[in-house]
Amino acid sequence: MIGDQITAWSRSLGRAPYDAVIAALGYEKRSAFIPTLLAPDTRERFACGFGVQHVLSYAENLRDLTEAGYDITEVQDREFRAWVVSILDQLASVSSVHASVAVDISSVSRLRLAILVDCIRTFVRIRRLKVDFLYAPAKYSPPAEDDSPNQHVGPVLPSYAGWTDEPEAPVTAVVGLGYEEDRALGAVERIDPDETWCFLPTSGEAEYTPALLRANEELIASVPEGRLLEYVVESPFDCFTRLESLAFRKSHSSRVVLIPFGPKSFTLCALLVAGVHPEIAVWRVSAGARQVPVQREPTGLVVGISAEAVTEPQTYE
């Protein structure tokens, strides 16, 4: 299980090889950025496509990842867990003692990211599984005009539904803001929490902030002073520690629901927090395949969080 062995990623790209890289083949230009950087120093390379929305930079990414030696597969969401487990099983067949994996979360969907983290934290065939979750922040691009209805509002997976001995306890919602206009507000209204906290991403791409504030104007106005917290996209481990501290503190007196919009790095933080504190829920709000594709170009930075899943060796009497 991934427990308290979560740290800031500090490895310089190219200094130490990985046993495997797991990446997403998508339509964003940044989809191939980290995988091509890692390719020369990685033994096994895997990329998974979505089977839909082969638009924008998809063809270019497919070419680049193919040339970089990636084993490319396209599966439906319902098949994705089996694909991830097959990779972990392959690593376990080489060594059951230790394996190191890099996961590029930049272009993966929130559902698939949850499946990835869930598979890694519950995999028991490798005693020490070290995973670097890497993220390429994007240059600013205007938000798409998207009025697609939500196709899913609820726990991202059953394993992230949270649990409680007090179902009547008050609810605290912790929302990671993105610039999907009013989607965060709709999610909060659906939950109807007793208390709401919001995390506002800031970054070197200053144009994001005004767009975020406009998209979430009504929700932000409803949040009492002191419950709008900023985090720096380029420092995901700091975000994790702040989110974990707040969520754990509030879990003593309420049922906590994390609702991650915005950068995928915040979604990763929410999933890792729930992995450490399984009483905390993580929800997903998504328009599914109807979501309008938006181009995302990498800024050139790579940031990340390192986690280690440790399985104690079994002993038999």
**How far apart, in Å, are the Cα atoms of 39 and each of 23, 46, 47, 70, 116?**
11, 10, 11, 8, 20
The mean per-residue pLDDT over the stretch 292-302 comes to 94
Q: At what angle do helices 236-251 and 264-276 cross, to 10 degrees?
A: 40
pLDDT tens per residue across span 42-95: 999 999 999 899 999 999 999 999 999 999 999 999 999 999 999 999 999 999
Q: 157 near 84, Cβ under 8 Å? A: no
Category of 143 on φ-ψ map: left (φ > 0), alpha (ψ -120 to 50) or beta: beta
The mean per-residue pLDDT over the stretch 247-257 comes to 97
Selection from 40-44, 265-269, 311-315 with the highest mean pLDDT: 265-269
The mean per-residue pLDDT over the stretch 304-311 comes to 92
Tokens of 169: 């306890």
Which residues does residue 308 pair with via DSSP β-bridges, in sequence order?
Answer: 130
Q: At what angle do helices 77-94 and 110-122 cross, to 10 degrees?
A: 30
pLDDT grade for 309, boundaries at 50, 70 and 90: confident
Q: Say whether pLDDT at 137 is over 80.
A: yes
Domains along the chain? 2-139+296-310 (3.40.50), 152-290 (3.40.50)
The mean per-residue pLDDT over the stretch 14-32 comes to 90
Say which residue the tokens 């390192």 belong to: 306
The pLDDT of residue 286: 81
DSSP string computed for 95-161: -SSEEEEEEE-TT--HHHHHHHHHHHHH--SSSEEEEEEEE-PBPP-PPP---PPPSEEEESSGGGS
Q: CB neighbours (10 Å) of residue 248?
A: 15
Decide: residue 127, CB within 10 A, 0-12 exposed, 13-18 middle, 19+ buried.
middle
Q: Which residue has the higher pLDDT, 85 or 314?
A: 85
pLDDT tens per residue across span 143-175: 877 666 666 889 999 999 998 888 889 999 999
